[in-house]
Amino acid sequence: MIYLDAAATTEVRREVLEAMWPLLTADYGNPSSHHTVGESAARALGYARRLVAGELNCKPNDVVFTSGGTEADNLALKGIALATPRGKHIVASAIEHPAVLDTLDYLKRVHGFRITLLPVTEAGLVDEEALRGALTEDTTLCTIMYANNEVGTVQPIPALAAVCRERRIPFHTDAVQAAGWLPLDTAKLGVDAMSISGHKLGAPKGCGVLFVRSRLPLEPLIHGGGQERGKRSGTENVAGAVALATALRLVQEERAANSAGSVTRRDYLINAVLNGVDGAILTGHPAQRLPNVASFCFPGASGEAILLELERAGVVSSSGSACAAGASEPSEVLLALGLDPEVAQTALRLSWTAATTDAEIALAARAVVSSVKAVQGIGTR
Ligand code: PLP
């Protein structure tokens, strides 16, 4: 089986499991306990925090461990919006993950925030001038994802964050798909908050990080024992924090080498599919895209049928986001890119890890071409 759904989740890496193991066995303490077992767990948590801070070029106090990307996004958006007296207006892109869009909807319904969703180009890019024009005296927060999970388009975060910095408006980015493939230096990116999820990087599901500048007021979502400096109560998932930190360090070390190889595989796959299937459309930006994501639409063919056919051929993939899989509604992201609803129903996303080989990508390219043709009724086999 060739697994081409890494944007949904990844396998836990052996180095990560090995780093977690002692914290689930001998060093199982509660970091808040005042005895040697607890102190040992607290040291491990501190080590994970410093490791993450080093990779993100921030202070350890800017790191809040969460249960994943969804919680990190929720904490950033609700936490900053509800703590900042500036106003009740939030700016986001129209192609954010549901973890952001649904949180914004909550802030609108329950707390009366006004939300501006910035349109994107056909390739999925946010326009800097459109962002500048959307900011008002009331804007409390801006959130724009680093890389899109359905089409892989990468936003020019340093330029967009700079527009907000000029106006002293906090800027958050959802870097869940970007982590492992794009630079994460928060100072160079110029962001005030950034979400990362462990299970996209080779750590287990259920661990994430919100980088949030410690000077930014933040209303906690979870109240209790005051862990994470009061920003996220609850006994810390020490093994999860160490897993995430270890996975992050590994992908950061390997990033330059992995990205170059992956871009070659991506462009091979894109060309093979576009040349092999008449009318195939590449969705997202041709170049400003994640090295490990290729996404297409195949007008006239059902996306669900393509997925089934591909799985029969030994390739597992997705129609877009894992959350939207199985949904009969066309993807909001593809509609925002200007695709017709019928065309948006034909989407296919292939995404992989650095461990995916050239041979697997070549096999997958052939399988995509033959599967789409089979579904279109042309049938080459
Ligand atoms: N943001 C983006 C861009 C994602 O792709 C995902 C997961 O697919 C999330 C947030 C949610 O992360 P998690 O699964 O860790 O809750």
Instruction: Please give the Cα distance from 274 to 372 (Å, whole number).
Output: 11
Instruction: Please give the Cα distance from 79 to 230 (Å, whole number).
Output: 12
- Tokens standing for 88? 């009740």
Cα of 267 vs centre of ligand 1, distance in Å, is 25
Do the strands 139-143 and 89-93 form a parallel or antiparallel pair, or are they unpaired? parallel
Instruction: Kindly give the interhelix angle for 238-276 and 14-24, rounded to the nearest 10 degrees.
Output: 160
Using the structure block, give the residue that is written with the tokens 């390997």: 254
Q: How far is CA 188 from CA 79, 158, 290, in A?
A: 23, 7, 19
Distance of CA 276 to the CA centre of its chain: 30
Q: Render the burial of 125-153: b for 16+ CB within 10 Å, e for the rest.
A: bbeeeebeebbeeebbbbbbbbbbbbbbb
Domain range summary for the chain, segments of one domain joined by +: 2-6+255-379, 14-251
Helices H / strands E in the chain, number of each: 12, 12
Provide CATH code, domain 14-251: 3.40.640.10
Atom of ligand 1 nearest to the CA of 99: 10
- Tokens standing for 303? 């996306």
- Tokens standing for 370? 């033959």
Catalytic-residue membership of 142: no
Homologous superfamily assigned to 2-6+255-379: Aspartate Aminotransferase, domain 1 (3.90.1150.10)
- Sequential pLDDT tens for the chain (381 residues): 999 999 999 999 999 999 999 999 999 999 999 999 999 999 999 999 999 999 999 999 999 999 999 999 999 999 999 998 789 999 999 999 999 999 999 999 999 999 999 999 999 999 999 999 999 999 999 999 999 999 999 999 999 999 999 999 999 999 999 999 999 999 999 999 999 999 999 999 999 999 999 999 999 999 999 999 999 999 999 999 999 999 999 999 999 999 999 999 999 999 999 999 999 999 999 999 999 999 999 999 999 999 999 999 999 999 875 444 455 689 999 999 999 999 999 999 999 999 999 999 999 999 999 999 999 885 444
In this structure, the residues whose C-beta lies within 6 A of any atom of ligand 1 are 68-70, 73, 97, 99, 145, 149, 174, 176-177, 197, 199, 208, 322
